[in-house]
Structure 1
Amino acid sequence: MQYRNNKHRHTMKVRWINLAIIFSFFLCSCDTGEQADHVSEAPVEDNDEVYIFTSFREPATEGLYLAYSEDGYTWEDLSGPYLKPGVGESNIMRDPSVVKGPDGTFHMVWTTDWRGADGFGYASTKDFIEWSEQQFIPVMDHEPEVVNVWAPELYYDEDGDRFIIIWASTIPHRFEKGEEAEDNNHRMYYVTTRDFKEFSDTKLFIDPGFSIIDAVIVKRDKEDYVLVLKDNTRPERNLKVAFGDSPLGPYEDISEPFTGHLTEGPTVIEQNGKYLIFFDSYGGEKYDAVKTTDFKTFIEIGDEIQFPEGHKHGTISTIDREILNRLKQRAEILAK
């Protein structure tokens, strides 16, 4: 009888220990919640690659700065400049947009001047250290009244095997406007190229009926496209989205703003069906981000991301770890 009681107590003790372990695991899972959500996702399809973020620092006269990340949330400074401004009249390099071509070459375009320019800067690289000769691409030289060429954005169209470059320009008295001055009433234009030597004729990309800048093309899994854009009208100056069946549009169904007032410069990455949209909240004097799965509902994740001080409008690509190691060595030299 004593043996049976001891055996019963032992069995009950084991059951309680197992229940305690299960309950503790449940509590840990609940406590991590949304905070661990991005950690469980594979940040980059190839584990041998990391994210690279192009950037500039005000007043934009120094050139290209870089940051890298393993998960798309925590960004480490790689210092700079890696390329100093070499074209344009204003000696600036703003809004550097980079896309990796099918041969592994990184192509970059950027804003060269606040006012007076009829084109943008271009250079290419394999590793962000050695660069091609800088060129000025005069995509608006056929418009003598053009005020500016702002924030050129690169997109590689896999289906068409071509690069699409979009940018914002103002041509006074060309379009209807609201409260904006005639020299601040932007529309988006585009060219295409396969080799950055020959370009298509410049065409209007989108006229949404209001001043628009800082547009980014995003391809979704269901083979349609999203345009993340800044409504640059005086009452708005925030970010919205529109939808199209082709990378060149037409883009329709423009949304209500998903960011606050005084935000611009979006760039987007996709992680397992979730899209992270990074942007410059210049009204709040910070770099910010939201997350979405459908471009209809947006979740604030600004408190989950970390950026180097002074990080500004750029784009995200991926590099292998060999390039990253070389950039880290270069960053140590630049920091001295």
Structure 2
Amino acid sequence: MSYFKDETHSLYFAVSRDGFTFTDVNGGKPVLSGRDIAEQKGIRDPHITRGPDGAFYMAMTDLHIFGREEGLRTTAWERPEDRYGWGNNRNLILMKSRDMVHWTLARVDVGRLFPSLANAGTAWAPETIYDPVRRQMMVYFSTRIGNGPLYMVSSYADPAFKTLTTEPVKLLIHPDSKVGTIDGDITRVGNQYRMFYVGHENPGGIFQAVSKTIGSGYVYTPQRVAPETLAHEAPNLWRRHGTDTYVLMYDVFGAKPNNMGFAETKDFKTFTRIGHFNETGSPMKTTNFTSPKHGSVMPITPDEATRLESYFAGASIPR
């Protein structure tokens, strides 16, 4: 599991042998500092996945929401809030690794790359998925023009995962153009692609859209899916290994302190709440960390987990 914390705006990893109990590999300390890798000296919304080449792909938001308070800039945001909105930023961070320890690093300014996003106010919550038809890694993220409504777009990365190569296209057309959509998470399930995302409706929440093609054709449905009463965002879907049960994980920012929430489904119609990390009665546990934000989960092997734990315990890993 990758996640970040508001306190540090840095990257963290945790591993689980059973999909229920997670342990931070670095004793609750960052594995990468946002100050070292981000133009704004902070990262948010880390997403990690494995490509068909065996490499690991990480995408993050380049943004520190407390930059002025911590003396990293003199203004509230990079650009004026009245023109570009809360939390405006320019860069996506793209990273690639063979061992989850040594990473390449690229900061991608989407406004400079693409005419359609020349006046983009945000490049938020990027995720990556392999497109088997194009045989490329697709990167998708949330953006807006100036301070307008948020929407989700997709583009394709180069093989080195250091830039984007195609003009971004919209992933979902909401029937109400004034409603913002963010935090898309796409998973291939059978012969369909299921996208979970946040809709800024009234009330808002997590919604599901389905398509037979990876980068288009997602059909809006009005039903909220997460059985959660507190404010939440950042859905991430993953399957329990060896089962037909899928877990919908989400960031419960309405909890104090912040926490992750979970629901299970087998048919993508009924989602059964199984609680928050360390909540009474919940099977989901953490052993050495609290308050994770915007997490993502991917499968790794037991040997990979041991290798990662050993490195942060002080053992060396050859490049």
Tell me if TM exceeds 0.5: yes
Partner of 2:234: 265
Within 5 Å, which residues of 2 pair with 1:119-130? 119-130=91-102
| Counterpart secondary structure, 1:325 | helix
- The Cα offsets for residues 81-110 of structure 1, whole Å up to 9 and x where unpaired, read as 222234544211111111111221101110
| Counterpart secondary structure, 1:140 | helix
| Counterpart secondary structure, 2:21 | coil
Q: How far 1:297 moved relative to its partner?
A: 0.8
Q: Distance in 2 between matches of 1:283 and 1:276?
A: 20
Partner of 2:50: 100
Partner of 2:70: none
Letter in 1 for 2:95: A
Q: How far 1:67 moved relative to its partner?
A: 0.6
Q: Any stretches of 5+ residues in structure 2 without a counterpart?
A: 66-86, 276-281
Closer/same/farther in 2, CA of residues 206 and 60 from structure 1, 3 Å limit: farther
Letter in 2 for 1:118: R
Closer/same/farther in 2, CA of residues 120 and 60 from structure 1, 3 Å limit: farther
8 Å CA contact 1:88–1:117 kept in 2: the answer is no
Q: Distance in 1 between matches of 2:148 and 2:48?
A: 26
Match of 1:330 among 307, 311, 314: 311
Partner of 1:160: 134
Q: How far 1:282 moved relative to its partner?
A: 1.1
- The Cα offsets for residues 148-180 of structure 1, whole Å up to 9 and x where unpaired, read as 1110011112343211111111214xxxxxxxx
Match of 1:225 among 171, 193, 212: 193
With normalisation by structure 2, the TM-score equals: 0.77
8 Å CA contact 2:173–2:220 kept in 1: the answer is no
Q: How far 1:286 moved relative to its partner?
A: 2.2
8 Å CA contact 1:93–1:111 kept in 2: the answer is yes
Letter in 2 for 1:238: G
Letter in 1 for 2:6: E
Letter in 1 for 2:31: Y
Q: How far 1:205 moved relative to its partner?
A: 2.0
8 Å CA contact 1:140–1:202 kept in 2: the answer is no
Q: How far 1:291 moved relative to its partner?
A: 0.6
Partner of 2:78: none
Within 5 Å, which residues of 2 pair with 1:1-336? 53-61=1-9, 63-79=10-26, 80-85=29-34, 86-113=36-63, 115-132=87-104, 134-141=105-112, 142=115, 143-172=117-146, 183=147, 185-195=149-159, 196-197=161-162, 199-208=165-174, 209=176, 210-221=179-190, 223-233=191-201, 235-259=202-226, 260=228, 261-271=230-240, 272-284=243-255, 285-302=258-275, 303-307=282-286, 308-332=289-313
Over aligned residues, Cα RMSD in angstroms? 2.1
Q: Distance in 1 between matches of 2:187 and 2:6?
A: 27
8 Å CA contact 2:225–2:271 kept in 1: the answer is yes
Q: Any stretches of 5+ residues in structure 1 without a counterpart?
A: 1-52, 173-182
| Counterpart secondary structure, 1:227 | strand
8 Å CA contact 2:194–2:209 kept in 1: the answer is yes
Closer/same/farther in 2, CA of residues 92 and 184 from structure 1, 3 Å limit: farther
Q: How far 1:60 moved relative to its partner?
A: 4.0
**Percent identity over the alignment?**
22
Letter in 1 for 2:14: A
Structure with bigger gyration radius: 1
Closer/same/farther in 2, CA of residues 89 and 184 from structure 1, 3 Å limit: farther
Q: Distance in 2 between matches of 1:163 and 1:236?
A: 34
Q: Distance in 2 between matches of 1:236 and 1:87?
A: 36
Structure with more helix by fraction: 1
Letter in 2 for 1:117: N
With normalisation by structure 1, the TM-score equals: 0.74
Q: Distance in 1 between matches of 2:291 and 2:310?
A: 21
8 Å CA contact 1:78–1:328 kept in 2: the answer is yes
| Counterpart secondary structure, 1:82 | coil
Partner of 2:72: none
